[in-house]
Amino acid sequence: QSVTAFAPATVANVSCGFDILGFAIDRLGDKVSVSFNQEGILRVTGIEGDEGKLPLEPEKNTCSVAIQAMLNKLGSKQGIDIFLEKGLPLGSGMGSSAASAAAALEAANVLLGNPFTKEELVPFAMESERIACGSAHADNVAPSILGGFVLIRDYDPLDMVKLPVPEGIFCTLVHPHIELKTSDSRSVLRKQISLKESVMQSGNIAGFIAALYKSDLALLSRSLKDVIAEPSRALLIPGFYELRDAIKSIGSLGSGISGSGPTIFVLSPNGDIAHEAGEKAKEVFQKIGLGVDVY
Ligand code: HSE
């Protein structure tokens, strides 16, 4: 018996919610198939779509690390074979490692007879984030597993809140062809912020959450600001401010760095504007001579 599961790409931080907010993307993501083996070992039998870049070693691969955490919790020594089909680019800021872990956990959970709820899978996926980038943040894995917008109110103990998604909201993902490791873009972050910055960030995250509940897209747009991570990280992403300027006139709600970058997300109130944002992005990156993929 083989079980296959899909888990979506995610946008973490969403500008104002550094390490505590993320949302899932429709359609784009990774697929993982799992089946029992008789050898009593956890092994990654193959990976497709990663150009040979991802490790197969069970202690380094995000899928097997996540499933191992799940088996540990069950006290099980069950052997499982894992096959990963990458749909997401690596090191892109689109929650690529999180989607692999989430798909692996969902498939393994079904294979094992659903011993865990979706919420209970999140801590296992966080273990794989620790391996992938040195930090066990949940703002990619939680929305990849639970869908929609998810707030991580606290990490210890983990307290997640699923948030409403305003009708008709679209996201354009702009992926410039540079690779940025999460560990590197975390290392450029300031260790301290001022009281004034803390007040600004709190105002924006509170405004953003209120906007989701009220379906108030004007408030959502005003709240899409980040004074913590963006000022340091934007310097690593060519075209970031040019794209922000270019989409000002087309009626999009705003843009920001997706997770730790280099992908830039643009939120729009409808599909036409989301499409236009993608066209603007292609123009911007053509001008600066950098390849780009738009989703
Ligand atoms: N919140 C994390 C960060 C997401 O910004 O480093 C990483 O994808």
Confirm or deny that 176 is annotated as ligand binding: no
Give the SS3 label for residue 263: coil
| Mean pLDDT of the region 102-119 | 98
Is the pLDDT assigned to residue 179 strictly greater than 90? no
Ligand 1 close to Cβ of residue 144 (< 6 A):
no
Contact 139 CB / ligand 1 (< 6 Å): yes
Of all protein residues, whose CA lies closest to atom 1 belonging to ligand 1? 19
Mean pLDDT, rounded, for 85-112: 96
Q: Give the atom of ligand 1 at the shortest distance from the alpha carbon of 233.
A: 5
Work out the average pLDDT over 214-237.
Answer: 96
What's the pLDDT score for residue 134? Answer: 80
Q: 171 phi and psi, to 5 degrees?
A: -125, 130
Helices 96-111 and 118-133, packing angle to 10 deg: 140
**Taking residues 105-120, what's their average pLDDT?**
98
Cα Rg for the chain, rounded, in angstroms? Answer: 19
Measured in angstroms, how far is the CA atom of residue 181 from the centroid of ligand 1? 10
**Strand pairing category for 42-48 and 21-37:** unpaired
Number of Cβ within 10 Å of residue 274's Cβ equals 21
Tens digits of residue pLDDT in 157-177: 999 999 999 999 999 999 999
140 lines ligand 1 (CB under 6 A): yes
Neighbour count for residue 134 (Cβ, 10 Å): 12
137 lines ligand 1 (CB under 6 A): yes
**Locus of tokens 């380094």:** 60
Q: Which atom of ligand 1 is nearest to the CA of 189?
A: 6
pLDDT at residue 33, rounded to an integer: 98
pLDDT of 263 reads: 97
94 is in an annotated binding site: yes
Average the pLDDT over 19-23 and give the result: 97
Give the tens place of pLDDT for each residue, 276-289: 999 999 999 999 99
Residues 23-44 as b/e (b if ≥16 CB within 10 A, e otherwise) read bbbeebbbbbbbbeeeeeebbb
| Ligand 1 atom nearest to 93, measured from its CA | 8
180 has a pLDDT exceeding 90: no
Q: What is the pLDDT of residue 236?
A: 94
Beta-bridge mates of residue 42: 80
Give the Å distances, CA to CA, from 293 to 54, 122, 203: 21, 29, 33
The runs of H, that is alpha helices, within 24-147 are 62-74, 96-111, 118-133, 141-146
Residue 152 confidence (pLDDT)? 97
To the nearest whole number, what is the mean pLDDT of the chain? Answer: 96
Question: CB of 259 closer than 6 A to ligand 1?
Answer: yes
Q: Is 91 annotated as a binding residue?
A: yes
Task: Report pLDDT digits (tens) over 236-256.
Answer: 999 999 999 999 899 999 999
Q: What is the pLDDT of residue 12?
A: 97
Lowest-confidence range among 180-189, 212-221, 232-241? Answer: 180-189
Q: How far is CA 160 from CA 11, 118, 121, in A?
A: 16, 12, 12
11's enclosing H/E stretch is strand 2-12
Residue 182: per-residue pLDDT: 84
Q: Is the CB of 260 under 6 A from ligand 1?
A: yes
The helix/strand count (H/E) of the chain reads as 10, 10
What's the predicted TM-score (pTM) here? 0.95
Please tell me the predicted confidence (pLDDT) of residue 135.
81
Ligand 1, pocket-test mutation among 94, 97, 139, most atoms within 8 A of CB: 139
92 assigned ligand-binding residue? yes
The first and second tokens of residue 198, run together, are 């803390």
Residue 131 binned pLDDT confidence (cut-offs 50, 70, 90): confident
